[in-house]
């Protein structure tokens, strides 16, 4: 078995953060979203992984993720010149995939369930495709499946105006090599893309073995700010372990599960977990509330922060009102004069400088 992870696209839903970086590298609990997918795949025993990258952000993905050694994997990078659809990504990955069955994983997805049980079912039943589904409140925003009583997929449609069900396709697929012939038979959709839903529908139309399984745990598509914050909250809730490697002065207090990286200094601060603080940070006169993730080399002085994500190298100084539900990009600078409103909400891109006067 092999795997491909899609880490291309332009990340329009997470702008301005993704004007300067890949959405799959935005951190959740101080770890790039993409890495969770790599780890989930390696946990199944699959270690030969191709990552689909775009011209805009591919070099950043390669530099950050490397050759796979840190994950116990071997990573091959595959350039997709244009975002021409998921099936197109499979098409250009065919020289890497050969005739082996494979997993396709969208790099901005997170799921609670382990992949091993689905992979075993796919292998045991010798399927042509196994897709994962989850009931959603807004199926028109997703690919949608209609299934029969035996769990076989009857019909698939991409982002339908009138959905045949509320079962959305989770961004994880299992394929036999028969998917390649199906992709060769389909035509671009009205969006100008080769849709993976059309390719799977072609398998169904040719009486191939396609099944669906519903996932029971959480599923997070981290393409928007609120989704990113929700993912950060869930990962901190379920995965964070206390580890205080930094330096705290006598006036600083820590409550609950908190991680503080090496080289970080806290002066007169109160931190209430779950919270993760990266390496080489400087925090002074701060309250850091639950569900906050602070990346490496961040400076926070006179800040009241809760349920937010602060990216690498950001500086937030002199904010006397609570910052909540916010994402602040790499190297952004934020400061304010006193006596401003009670609450502030931000989504701030990389390299911004903002002064509230």
**Cα 227 to Cα 9, 30, 274, distances in angstroms:** 18, 15, 18
Q: What is the pTM (predicted TM-score) of this model?
A: 0.88
Distance CA 58, CA 283 (A): 33
Rounded to an integer, the average pLDDT of 40-63 is 94
Choose among 56, 58, 65: nearest CA to 33.
65
pLDDT of residue 11: 47
Domain range annotation of the chain: 2-235, 242-356
Architecture of the domain defined by 2-235: Alpha-Beta Complex (3.90)
Average pLDDT, the chain: 89
Please determine, for residue 148, whether its predicted confidence score (pLDDT) is greater than 90.
no
pLDDT of residue 320: 80
Right CATH for 242-356 from 3.20.20.60, 2.160.10.10, 3.60.110.10, 3.40.50.720: 2.160.10.10
pLDDT of residue 13: 47
Choose among 325, 346, 248, 287: nearest CA to 335.
346
Distance CA 145, CA 151 (A): 11
pLDDT band at 190 (very low <50, low <70, confident <90, very high): confident
pLDDT tens column, 286-331 = 999 999 999 999 999 999 999 999 999 999 998 888 999 988 888 8
Distance CA 279, CA 295 (A): 7
Residue whose token pair is 């990955």: 93
Residue whose token pair is 């952004």: 332
Please determine, for residue 19, whether its predicted confidence score (pLDDT) is greater than 80.
no
CATH fold match for the domains 2-235 and 242-356: no
Of the segments 91-95, 217-221, 323-327, which one has the largest average pLDDT value?
91-95
């Amino acid at each position: 078995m092999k795997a491909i992870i899609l880490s291309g696209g332009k990340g329009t839903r997470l702008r301005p953060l993704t004007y300067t970086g890949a959405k799959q590298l935005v951190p959740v609990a101080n770890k790039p979203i993409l890495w969770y997918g790599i780890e989930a795949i390696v946990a199944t025993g699959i270690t030969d992984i191709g990552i689909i990258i775009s011209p805009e952000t591919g070099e950043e993905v390669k530099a950050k993720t490397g050759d796979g050694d840190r994950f116990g994997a071997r990573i091959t990078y595959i350039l997709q010149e244009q975002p021409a659809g998921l099936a197109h990504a499979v098409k250009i990955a065919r020289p890497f995939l050969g005739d082996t069955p494979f997993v396709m994983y969208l790099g901005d997805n997170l799921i609670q369930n382990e992949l091993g049980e689905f992979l075993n079912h796919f292998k045991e039943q010798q399927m042509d495709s196994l897709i994962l589904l989850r009931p959603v409140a807004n199926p028109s925003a997703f690919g949608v499946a209609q299934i029969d009583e035996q769990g076989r997929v009857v019909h698939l449609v991409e982002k339908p105006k009138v959905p045949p069900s509320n079962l959305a396709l989770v961004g994880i697929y299992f394929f036999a090599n028969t998917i390649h012939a199906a992709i060769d038979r389909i035509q671009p959709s009205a969006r100008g893309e080769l849709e993976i839903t059309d390719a799977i529908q072609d398998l169904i139309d040719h009486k191939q073995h396609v099944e669906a399984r519903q996932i029971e745990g959480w599923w997070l598509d981290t393409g928007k700010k609120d989704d990113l914050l929700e993912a950060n909250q869930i990962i901190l809730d379920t995965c964070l372990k206390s580890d205080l490697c930094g330096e705290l002065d006598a006036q600083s207090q820590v409550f609950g599960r908190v991680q503080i990286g090496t080289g970080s200094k806290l002066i007169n601060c109160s931190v209430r977990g779950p919270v993760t603080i990266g390496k080489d940070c400087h925090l002074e006169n701060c309250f850091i509330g639950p569900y906050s993730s602070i990346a490496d080399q961040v400076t926070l002085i006179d800040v009241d922060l809760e349920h937010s994500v602060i990216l690498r190298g950001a500086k937030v100084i002199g904010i006397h009102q609570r910052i909540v539900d916010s994402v602040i990009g790499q190297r952004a600078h934020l400061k304010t004069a006193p006596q401003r409103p009670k609450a502030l909400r931000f989504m701030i891109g990389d390299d911004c400088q903002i002064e509230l006067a």
